[in-house]
Amino acid sequence: MSKEIERKFLVVNQSYKSMATSCDHIVQGYLSRNVDATVRVRLRNDKSFLTVKGRNHGIERDEWEYAIPLDDARCMLQRLVDGPVIDKQRYIVPYSGKVWEVDEFSSPDAGLVVAEVELTSVDEEFDIPPFIGEEVTGDPCYYNSMLGIKK
């Protein structure tokens, strides 16, 4: 088991694109949106994963991720997903010793752009890149598992 410690922010400009070292296409859906056991299937370029996440405790939660066969992931996305399938581009942006992941959503919330940074502890300090705006950590409206779900 591992812990995920991350903070999430809205993005205010596109400067991350010129700073990015790579960009991946991601398609993902949720098999469970239960806050105590969220289960996601994801295609990232030509690889696929099944991820289980526990309830958030502040900015920290339990996380398990496993590589799965690509055909199995495609089948799960077609047959088992609860709610909309998410389609996004993920830009990887190194900045001041941290790696930022910037997601541009094409569906279901086209136009939404958010950035996340994973930390090694809940009180870790880090520098803010120029494309970062309002922090939305802990706001369920910005959880991937809640995108496209009527609130």
Which sequence positions are flagged as catalytic?
30
Which residue type, as a one-letter code, is found at position 149? I
Residues forming a β-bridge with 48: 43
Vertex 50: Cα angle to 46 and 56 (nearest 5): 130
Distance CA(101)–CA(111), nearest Å, equals 16
Residue type, 108: P
Decide if 31 contacts 40 (C-beta within 8 A).
Answer: yes
Give the helix, strand, coil percentages of the chain, each rounded to 5.
15, 50, 35
Q: Is the peptide bond before 129 cis (omega within 30 degrees of 0)?
A: no
